[in-house]
Amino acid sequence: MAPLIEVKNLKKYFVVGSNPFGTPTSWLKAIDDISFTIDRGETLGLVGESGCGKTTAGRTICRLYEPTAGEVVFDGQKVFDLDAKQMLGIRRKMQMIFQDPYASLNSRMTVGDIVGEPIDIHGLAANKHERLHMVHDLLHTVGLSPEHATRFPHEFSGGQRQRIGVARALAVSPSFIICDEPISALDVSIQAQVINMLEDLQEKRGLSYLFIAHDLSMVKHTSRRVAVMYLGKIVELAPSAELYRNPMHPYTKALLSAIPIPDPEVERTRQRIILQGDVPSPIDPPAGCRFRARCSQAMPICAEQDPEMKHNDGHSVACHLFD
């Protein structure tokens, strides 16, 4: 069966400098030639440190940002070739849960109108009574009460606001949801509740997720496969258990070594990998491998040639160490 989502050589550059005539002279390369697939009912985790391009990747896939180059095929349709009317149909199937539950909800709208807006846009309710019933059903699905529909976002906690965001995404019965760090702004005690809710919804509705995060320990439990990003590129992609058991890229090893282990004896004796230096600027990334300046295993070829992705039994890595 063909995957639900195919991302092929996707690029997104932002213009950050131009000459007096308005011609661009410099670009910020937020994502630079990334490729992956997501199967139906699967969760793909996308991880990396802040600024690596994770959020930009998610927003470009659902065309909140127009791409610089590349292709996204969703359920057999080339997303970037569609006009505005055709995209409206795609947006029914492809939704996004945003990172900040405080900024992503309109403070002037009631919860009922926030959740009901997608229903109105896509004409999913025949009348006001049916719309109200759908809104109440969605609120119940995410663990809120029907009486919450008349309240405003400022009356809710962060976890409740994120549930409202999930209800809004579910309003059009999508098959694919981009979860952009949906728990990073929440208290630890609430994070597990939101994750459990997303997993239950996936099981009941057959949803596919792109789960964007920087918490690798959380991604391990939520994702079937994990892609690791560094400075706009995917450097490693593997099944979750395989990646955590046998990381291959030096950057992945460094990220995993930073995860605390709840065993004092093991935590005291294990070796941490401390990366030296800062992340290079995406406006002027280094030639060759972008990680080489911080890599203890860098070789001369790393400065000359950008490593290609090598594939071996579902485990892919872009590193000259495996040439």
Q: Is 192 a residue whose pLDDT tops 90? A: no
Percent of the chain with pLDDT over 90: 64
The confidence score (pLDDT) of residue 267 equals: 61
Pairing of strands 225-230, 43-47: parallel
Complete domains list, the chain, with CATH: 5-322 (3.40.50.300)
**What band does 23 get if pLDDT is binned at 50, 70 and 90?**
confident
Give pLDDT tens digits for 261-284: 676 766 666 677 777 777 888 888
Q: Is 219 left (phi over 0), alpha (psi -120 to 50) or beta?
A: alpha
Higher pLDDT, 278 or 55: 55
Mean pLDDT along residues 99-109: 90
Q: Does the pLDDT value for residue 68 go beyond 70?
A: yes
pLDDT tens, residue by residue, 280-316:
888 888 889 999 888 888 899 999 999 999 998 889 9
Q: 2 pLDDT exceeds 80? A: yes
The per-residue pLDDT for 8 is 96
* pLDDT at site 276: 77
